[in-house]
Amino acid sequence: MQLSHGVLPFVLGVVLFPAWAEAQRGAVDTRVFVYADQNDTTIVTSAVSASGVVDDRVEIGARYLVDIVSSASVDVVTQATDAMSDVRHEVGASLAYRGDPDQRVGASYARSVEHDYESHNVSAFYARDLRERMLTLSLWLGHQRSEITVSGAYAFERSLLAYLGSVGLDWVLGQRDRLELVLSGSLYDGFQASPYRYLTIGGLAYAENHPDTRGRGALTLRHRHAFERNVTLRTEARFYRDSYGVTAGNAEVGFLQERGLFDVGASLRIYGQSAARFFEARYARQQRYLTLDKELTRFMNAFATLMVGVRPRVGEQVEALRVDLRASFFGFRYGDYPFLRRRLGVTAQLGATLSF
């Protein structure tokens, strides 16, 4: 039953394709994403989005997404909770305006709902091309408000506010090179632990407790180089630190090649992080902050991704149709998390984008 709900946006997107093809310039995208790991966690995501241009200056967009999560992962079961399953719905809308050829401004809103979590997200951006379009400056600001509600014997209601921002610079370095730099910062204030994780210390159970305030900063560098034969090399490096004491970084290298109606690509991404300063594999006594969150432990992971796209010839009313398939194989290795040492898995997604 849940699976049929999840496939609904995908089916809706396929049905909507002909209707949107009759409309003015725009695009419709529909896709299905699957995540599965060896710890019995499965996620099926189905999403559909559409955008259209009005008067060459205004672009409107909308999207709908459904996540279906089921997990019997060892770290979930160990915390004396049964295998869980959940459904998340997300709807969003966006509006962008191009006042002149070199400036764009826009805003978006998204709402996400699951049985114990509801959030509202608003954001705005401004982008300006400078120096004869050799340099693009972009600014982005966002705000999220989330409500976490748990019913039953341990009922409680908490909120989480987030203030986010980023500045981006995209340089054209030459006829074949582009370099992008993104500096991001955010401040989270409110409940950030899990309402379902408990630690046992001296035979007594204690609820997980994280600091209410978490400041985060990240710096990303991306480089693209165009080789002959339509081969493009893409590299990325990111550095991250936060007030919990987590220091992290990732590096990614990949290529894309366009070959007639097809394009193919591959990439490798490696990530590593240190543990939060208040994380301990085993707490000997109760402390102000306690956590069993494996995302706050020391670990590293690697994702190897293969992708292929095809652009079949379609009717004259349609500008382009692109069908893409990508699959990633990943592995996590945890340094000091007591319930999980490693995690292997795969993600796959199939999507179709119609432009007209």
Give the footprint of other proteins on residues 172-191 (CB under 8 A): 172-180, 182, 184-186
Cα–Cα distance, 180 to 339 (Å, whole number): 39
CA distances from 90 to 5, 48, 161, 354 (A): 13, 11, 18, 22
| Region of 52-60, 228-236, 280-288, 333-341 interacting with other proteins (CB under 8 A) | 228-236
Q: Are strands 177-190 and 198-201 parallel, antiparallel or unpaired?
A: unpaired
Site for other proteins in 265-324 (CB under 8 A): 265, 271, 273, 276, 295-296, 301, 324
Contacts 24+ apart (CB under 8 A), 92-96: 92/61, 92/62, 92/63, 92/64, 92/65, 92/121, 93/60, 93/61, 93/62, 93/63, 94/51, 94/59, 94/60, 94/61, 94/62, 95/58, 95/59, 95/60, 95/61, 96/58, 96/59, 96/61
Site for other proteins in 2-21 (CB under 8 A): none
95, 114, 308, 340: residue in contact with other proteins (rule CB under 8 A): 114
121, 290, 337, 354: residue in contact with other proteins (rule CB under 8 A): 121
| Region of 14-22, 44-52, 201-209, 334-342 interacting with other proteins (CB under 8 A) | 44-52
Residue carrying the six token digits 């279906």:
68
Cα–Cα distance, 31 to 12 (Å, whole number): 11
Q: Which one, 104 or 326, has the nearer CB to other proteins?
A: 326
CB 206, min distance to other proteins, A = 18
Site for other proteins in 235-264 (CB under 8 A): 238, 240, 242, 244, 246, 248, 250, 256, 258, 263
Q: State the Rg of the chain over Cα.
A: 22
| Region of 2-10, 95-103, 113-121, 204-212 interacting with other proteins (CB under 8 A) | 113-121
Q: Which one, 189 or 242, has the nearer CB to other proteins?
A: 242
Bridge partners, residue 61, by sequence: 51, 94
Q: Which one, 179 or 201, has the nearer CB to other proteins?
A: 179
Give Cβ neighbours of residue 347 (< 8 Å, ≥ 6 apart). 33, 34, 35, 36, 327, 328, 330
- Binding-residue total with other proteins (CB under 8 A): 93
CB 257, min distance to other proteins, A = 8
2, 159, 194, 355: residue in contact with other proteins (rule CB under 8 A): 194
Q: Is 17 in a helix, a strand, or coil?
A: helix
154, 230, 268, 286: residue in contact with other proteins (rule CB under 8 A): 230
CB 140, min distance to other proteins, A = 6
Cα–Cα distance, 95 to 165 (Å, whole number): 19
Site for other proteins in 313-342 (CB under 8 A): 324, 326, 328, 332
Cα–Cα distance, 189 to 214 (Å, whole number): 7
7, 11, 17, 142: residue in contact with other proteins (rule CB under 8 A): 142
Cα–Cα distance, 45 to 114 (Å, whole number): 14
209, 222, 280, 355: residue in contact with other proteins (rule CB under 8 A): 222
Cα–Cα distance, 216 to 188 (Å, whole number): 8
Residue 29 contacts other proteins per CB under 8 A: yes
Kindly state the DSSP code that residue 274 receives in the 8-state scheme.
P
Residue 140 has φ and ψ, to the nearest 5°, of -140, 135
CB 273, min distance to other proteins, A = 5
| Region of 4-12, 15-23, 43-51, 200-208 interacting with other proteins (CB under 8 A) | 43-51
| Region of 18-26, 199-207, 211-219, 280-288 interacting with other proteins (CB under 8 A) | 211-219
CB 63, min distance to other proteins, A = 8
Residue carrying the six token digits 């220091």:
247
Q: Which one, 15 or 134, has the nearer CB to other proteins?
A: 134
